[in-house]
Structure 1
Amino acid sequence: MAPVLTDDQILQLGALRRALHQTPEVSGEEIQTAARIALELAQAGADRIWTGLGGHGVAAEFKGSQQGPTVLIRCELDGLPIQEVSEAPHRSEYAGKGHLCGHDGHMVMVLGLALTLAKRPQHGRVILLFQPAEETGAGAAAVIADPRWPQIRPDYAFAYHNVPGRPLAEIGLCLGPSNCASRGMKINFTGKTSHAAAPEDGISPGSVMAQLMQDLPLLGPGGPMQDDFALATLTHAHLGEPSFGIAPGSGELRLTLRSQTDARMDQMVADAENLLDAALDQVDGLQAQITWHDVFLASVNAAEAADLATAAAQKLDLAQHVMTTPMRWSEDFGRFGLDGATSAMLFIGSGEDQPQLHNPNFDFPDALIPTGVSLLARILDQILATPTHD
């Protein structure tokens, strides 16, 4: 297969990736990143560009000369609120923020695809979506809720995520579920403080919190990744004030619920709420409020989309890893499938010795850029019947 990018383009994309890495913006704050992406898309010859989608999202349209299906390729704009620990010259310039999940690399692969679309005739159209707020699970839903979404809504949708621990440039694909559902449960307790010498005159959440810290994790013991897989992880607990003279009158618990299916998640949510209600019955006057955060639905690959990705990888002679179980971590990309697109989340190995996602020293390998662009281009060729690169 002839390369779809020139050597100069590959070098330029690598330099752009490192520049993006230096200036990460977290979910909901991707203003400068979005502006840079919009400029790059305009220079690549996009026929139309939407900005401010679902927050700071950017989408570009590349139209063919004839009518046909719409194919969306999606990547993420946001970085993480984690301090980068690196000696790389392109390390983050922003304290407490870093592109430690590889979204900088994902963006550049999609921009590389834009360079190929500007000169390739096709029917149908391609939408390149640079989505905001993936890390919080809010971005995809916000984009779909944007009143301009009907102008964009695709027939097919594809996305990448890099995977540390897998061989460099290996393509991984799940048949069916690809990413677990998850959500954060925060419980705030309100009682009444009292002097530590007279705790009976107050209303302490301590006993209820202690019971829930034992019972809530039992809702999801983990185990084999099957349809009934569920994992409940206690992530934070706070009781009262750091004092010896005050019996506590408030507290907070945080828990992450995770499941392979949305139906199993619904059951976990109901069970968690029932446990809380039962615990509150044991302490008169104690009140509690649940709020839900970082809500991710399960991502499920459509068979047709998975077949297209598999065929593209085979045509490019790329190593493939057929995954029998989904990733435990979550992705909000699944919402595009629920919105009606025939979709698939693809995985690309970022190296067996690569630090894990969200590690403070993670850095996306630029060597993946040509492979990522070539696979996306091949998928588009298959759907839109454009001339091949043989």
Structure 2
Amino acid sequence: MKKRDEKMSLTESELIKIRRQLHQIPEIGMLEFETQAKLIEIIRSMPQTYFEIKKWKTAILVHVHGKQQGYTVGYRTDIDGLPVEEQTGLAYASRHKGRMHACGHDIHMTVALGILSYFAENQPQVNLTFIFQPAEENASGGKQLYESGILGEWMPDEIYAFHDNPELPVGSIGCRQGTLFAGTCEIHAKFIGKSGHAAFPHRANDMVVAGAQFVNQIQTIVSRNVDPIQAGVVTLGHFSAGTIGNVISGKAQIDGTIRALTQKNNVLIQKRVRKIADGVAESFECKLELDLHQGGYYPVENNPQTTAAFIDYMKNTPDVDFIETLPAMTGEDFGFLLSKIPGTMFWLGVESPYSLHSEYFAPKEGAIIKGVNAMIGFLKKRQTVVGNK
């Protein structure tokens, strides 16, 4: 563990123990009651001299009062799990059937607690607001929390967060200027016509054919509407229609996702999906029910100023293995917070042969203390800079 003059109340072995406890109790977004209670217990065990704590639904906000008032740096971690049945075989595997921290939010929480424990012992120059946020995976928890008004006078002037990355070396820090993650939007389309006998197609209105036309036409959006030097994805992963081969289906349900590296392109693709769906419904004289749901899953667009400072620190710190990364088409609701508050998201390498969301995903715990130390160092330097503004 990196030596420093100041104290940190949580040691590396304690952090690993905490991570394993959190790993055993994954909960779905907005239902993280046991997780919230465990986090509160750990936070309350730290010195409280500089702390104020608020709860909102299953979220926790910890405001650390700085020596100077008037500026606040934010740090956010997500706390929810996924509806995945764990298959890692670990001694500390999930105790909640059908639930798993398959996206590594247990690592995210543990790093946040390590950073917080340092500033519990060492008063920061400026205010810090730590956000333990629910429902990143399923319900735009960041958007909900922001729009609730709970941040109030604790609203950060800039904000930081990370996501673990199984493809990067243990403890490495990955980041880039511009977009780190894509913005996403769910597609839910239902075409409703008229079922009938396969032998009498003229007496029915076949929604298999209508749905197939929708699927085919959707493929032209990225190839013919999105600038070729920019990125976009439209994937339709579910098509459900009919019951048996000799009955014409009167309904077709099609579901998918939009991914784009800018909000402008995400909106463009959404408009084209809607126009195509409307056109298919008109041409087949059928009813359309279309839901395009983006919620808070905006592109994670890093702020140029905060990201330049972050990258400069990480590149020039001997104990940090910094890697400049490419953008990814994964989604993250931190994008909504970055659309409201300037800030930076980065990767923390956890080196696993299995991908995020895999039932076998087992991040290497050596990344925890490296992530904690890197962020403590950056936040110490950053608060000195902003405190002198």
TM-score by length of 2: 0.91
Counterpart position of 2:11: 9
Segments of structure 2 that go 5 or more residues without pairing to the other structure are none
Show the 5 A alignment for 1:269-288.
Answer: 269-284=270-285, 286-288=286-288
Q: CA deviation at 1:316?
A: 4.5
Show the 5 A alignment for 1:1-390.
Answer: 2=3, 9-46=11-48, 47-52=51-56, 55-136=57-138, 138-220=140-222, 228-240=230-242, 242-244=243-245, 246-284=247-285, 286-293=286-293, 295=295, 296-313=297-314, 314-323=316-325, 325-339=326-340, 341-351=341-351, 353-385=352-384
SS in structure 2 opposite 1:317? coil
Question: Is the 8 Å Cα contact of residues 218 and 276 (structure 2) preserved in structure 1?
Answer: yes
Mapped partners of 2:167, 2:223: distance in 1: 25
SS in structure 2 opposite 1:11? helix
SS in structure 2 opposite 1:95? coil
The amino acid that maps onto 1:298 is P
The amino acid that maps onto 2:179 is P
Mapped partners of 1:70, 1:372: distance in 2: 21
SS in structure 1 opposite 2:240? strand
Q: CA deviation at 1:138?
A: 0.9
The amino acid that maps onto 2:349 is G
SS in structure 2 opposite 1:345? strand
Question: Is the 8 Å Cα contact of residues 36 and 58 (structure 2) preserved in structure 1?
Answer: yes
More divergent stretch after superposition (38-47 vs 193-202): 193-202
SS in structure 1 opposite 2:202? helix
| Pair 1:239–1:92, CA change in 2 (3 A) | same
SS in structure 2 opposite 1:118? helix
SS in structure 1 opposite 2:358? coil
Mapped partners of 1:101, 1:226: distance in 2: 31
Question: Is the 8 Å Cα contact of residues 104 and 364 (structure 1) preserved in structure 2?
Answer: no
Question: Is the 8 Å Cα contact of residues 7 and 121 (structure 2) preserved in structure 1?
Answer: no
Question: Is the 8 Å Cα contact of residues 10 and 114 (structure 2) preserved in structure 1?
Answer: no
Mapped partners of 1:225, 1:201: distance in 2: 43
Mapped partners of 2:52, 2:8: distance in 1: 25
Mapped partners of 1:252, 1:98: distance in 2: 29
The amino acid that maps onto 1:360 is E
The amino acid that maps onto 1:216 is I
| Pair 1:204–1:25, CA change in 2 (3 A) | same
The amino acid that maps onto 1:213 is V
Q: CA deviation at 1:260?
A: 1.0
The amino acid that maps onto 1:120 is N
Question: Is the 8 Å Cα contact of residues 177 and 260 (structure 1) preserved in structure 2?
Answer: yes
Mapped partners of 1:226, 1:280: distance in 2: 29
Question: Is the 8 Å Cα contact of residues 9 and 46 (structure 2) preserved in structure 1?
Answer: no
Question: Is the 8 Å Cα contact of residues 225 and 260 (structure 1) preserved in structure 2?
Answer: no
Question: Is the 8 Å Cα contact of residues 30 and 132 (structure 1) preserved in structure 2?
Answer: yes
The amino acid that maps onto 1:267 is L
Q: CA deviation at 1:71?
A: 0.8
Question: Is the 8 Å Cα contact of residues 308 and 382 (structure 1) preserved in structure 2?
Answer: no
Q: CA deviation at 1:198?
A: 3.3
> What's the % identity of the aligned pairs?
23
Q: CA deviation at 1:381?
A: 0.8
The amino acid that maps onto 2:130 is L
Query: Could you give the per-residue CA deviations for residues 207-246 of structure 1, whole angstroms, max 9, x where no partner exists?
Result: 1101111121332359x99762111111100002x23453
Mapped partners of 2:276, 2:292: distance in 1: 16
- Cα RMSD of the aligned pairs, angstroms, is 2.3
Mapped partners of 1:144, 1:310: distance in 2: 27
The amino acid that maps onto 1:362 is F
Mapped partners of 1:101, 1:147: distance in 2: 28
The amino acid that maps onto 1:144 is Y
